[in-house]
Structure 1
């Protein structure tokens, strides 16, 4: 009975810690990050339509036009006028942000699906019972991953290539799926189905360096580019979308890791 009370109290303390962390994070976010100034008007006029390059400013001298991008080829023909300045903002549909969001999702699905479910079960072929066998996974797997991942994330502070509209970025993200079979063919033990193709420890270490670096670099690029692909007032929403897909990728990777490990 005493042990039950001890466990209950311990988990209650953990619950309270997470509750306070969430409270301290979400309250400032909702109060300060989403707060907007609202000016109320007694009467609002909205005039919208395809005016076919007509000079509507002469007709509505006291109205404000809110569409500032091309709507038909290179011409801005579909206009929205209101009698309130900055009352309405129009912009092209941010389709590219969904490419970036899916890129973040896929990046972390591949990463968490492989690391550490497969990588942590890799055994050294060179240790032969020595001390390297004890330190192989802590050093070559966990320490190396975190160092290279941090290096990739830090590199985005000085170099952001490819650009936010380049197809090279999503293609590079999809190409990371090659690490799944590469790690599967290393000396992962126990194994039931696949042969060991990359026996030397050097292969595993080289794969881990590229795997971790690409995870940090590509994920950071996508997270940085997401809010930049929308209008300024939509940047906050874009950031929330990117964060959601990041968390979704983590959950998806955790689920698919069981399948990846069973294949080996």
Structure 2
């Protein structure tokens, strides 16, 4: 497995794969601290493009707010490389901040409207940073497929719109949420949780499961579904709810009733850690 530190190195590698008679490459963008959820993305990419998978490991400063956890975000590069290689990656792109954001950089990507909804509303500027770094990665690696997890469903909506609007060549591939045995959605931020907070955090997946049960029984009304989810949080008063929303997955705008493809999403603070979870109806 090769490790690249510059955009030019990644680009040359990508073009060499295509010139070698392949269909192109798959890119799995990450911020490192890889876990089983990331492993599932890398495996899916390796199945789609055997021997032609690049994993980016870059903690992107522009998607963190001034009071967020950029400095303490977990960094474990050697372990990440070992996991990526084991799951089928053939290249790692691990640039410096200076490589991705040259001195004086003044170009950023805003996806108007969507970037201010769900996590974008709670974390102003977050999706601006996400869209900017992802478009840089897509330009650098020139992949034909880019893999993301459903856990970041709002991010997926923003990136899909960006790719469509800019007519970029990459197709966004979304893989299912990977959960612990007790239902907690895997996240690099789970490592911040104390033992007690880890138990409290299960309320997010319980709320998701309750909505899924109601939909399976025939309930479709948004107000009923969201009230049921809020009721789950009543049992965990230490968890501070950020949002509970039922939205169109394309626009991230609220809907009155759930239909196939509707996104139910929840975000909450467990101690000092903000966690998210969701389900796609149907």
Q: Same fold (TM over 0.5)?
A: no
TM-score, normalization by structure 2:
0.19
- Bigger helix share: 1
TM-score, normalization by structure 1:
0.20
Considering only CA atoms, is the larger Rg found in Structure 1 or Structure 2? 1
- Bigger strand share: 2
Relative contact order higher in (CA < 8 Å, ≥ 6 apart): 1
